[in-house]
């Protein structure tokens, strides 16, 4: 008896999928870095580690906008609905605030390529702790909390500009990309490498490539479909079409 393998959908999601949740993107027309070029220093490893003023500003912003503040939107929920309908899928996300998991995706389904803002990492001993602990110290009056045991600088457990991706997470993402039948990029400018290179890898291995993004990307010419409509409405409609094929 032979069984038919259902097509695997890989979704590469960027900041644009979360703008409807009130989380601004970085490089879009109203992106954080376009409105405030200095904000890029807050997520640049060399500036963050080397300049206490940068860290203090970053901690004030985190205290005012904790990573759990935003709720998942229709786009996040549409991905969950598709998974629950039985379509095999994996989410490779550049986002660090966890909206896919809060929407209900199984943790095994989500690959956090740029880490997680829900934990801190010490640059000296590499210990990881819940972000809430550090934010409580900031709220109590510590403008730049350090690791209590070794005195090392604390940063979010995210991949800052100038840092390399976790090789294990990247290797798993590469494996998913090679196996994907459909590779869908959502809300990402596809300008950050090595993640952007996953597109060409997917296409080389035979995946159908689609883009949902407000602005052009360097890889639009490889796509069989490019959607410029708002993600909150366009993605649920697109996934409904894809899901009909995947679960039929």
Q: Exposed (0-12), middle (13-18) or buried (19+): which is 35, by Cβ within 10 Å?
A: exposed
Q: Where are the domains of the chain?
A: 1-23+71-114+164-248, 26-69+119-158
The residues facing 136 across adjacent strands are none
Query: Which residues pair with residue 90 across a beta bridge?
Result: 10
Question: Considering 65, 76, 100, 114, which one is annotated as catalytic?
Answer: 114
* pLDDT tens-place values along the chain, 248 residues long: 445 668 999 999 999 998 877 766 555 555 554 556 678 889 999 999 999 999 999 999 999 887 666 689 999 999 999 999 999 999 999 999 899 999 999 989 999 999 999 999 999 999 999 999 999 999 999 999 999 899 999 999 999 999 999 999 999 999 999 999 999 999 999 998 999 999 999 999 999 999 999 999 999 999 999 999 999 999 999 999 987 654 44
The CA–CA distances, whole Å, from 74 to 34, 144, 224 equal 26, 36, 24
User: What pLDDT, on a 0 to 100 scale, did the predictor assign at position 84?
Assistant: 93
Active-site annotation holds for 114: yes
For the domain bounded by 1-23+71-114+164-248, which CATH number is listed? 3.40.50.1220
CATH no., domain 26-69+119-158: 3.30.1600.10
Distance CA(156)–CA(61), nearest Å, equals 12
């Amino acid at each position: 008896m032979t069984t038919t393998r259902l097509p695997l959908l890989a979704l590469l999601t960027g900041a644009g999928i979360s703008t409807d949740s009130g989380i601004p993107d970085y490089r879009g027309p109203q992106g954080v870095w376009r409105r405030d070029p200095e904000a890029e220093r807050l997520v640049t490893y060399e500036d963050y580690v080397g300049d206490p003023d940068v860290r203090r500003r970053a901690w004030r912003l985190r205290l005012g906008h904790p990573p759990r503040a935003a709720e998942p939107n229709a786009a996040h929920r549409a991905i969950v609905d598709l998974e629950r309908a039985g379509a095999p899928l994996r989410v490779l996300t550049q986002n660090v605030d966890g909206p896919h998991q809060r929407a209900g995706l199984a943790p095994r389904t989500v690959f956090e390529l740029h880490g997680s803002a829900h934990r801190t990492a010490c640059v000296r001993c590499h210990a990881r702790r819940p972000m809430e602990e550090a934010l409580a110290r900031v709220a109590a009056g510590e403008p730049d909390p350090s690791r209590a045991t070794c005195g090392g600088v604390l940063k979010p457990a995210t991949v800052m500009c100038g840092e390399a991706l976790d090789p294990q997470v990247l290797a798993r993402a590469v494996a998913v990309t090679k196996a994907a039948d459909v590779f869908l990029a959502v809300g990402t400018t596809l300008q950050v490498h090595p993640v952007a290179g996953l597109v060409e890898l997917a296409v080389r291995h035979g995946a159908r490539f689609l883009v949902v993004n407000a602005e052009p990307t360097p890889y639009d010419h490889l796509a069989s479909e490019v959607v410029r409509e708002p993600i909150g409405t366009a993605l649920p409609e697109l996934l409904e079409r894809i899901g009909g094929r995947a679960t039929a």
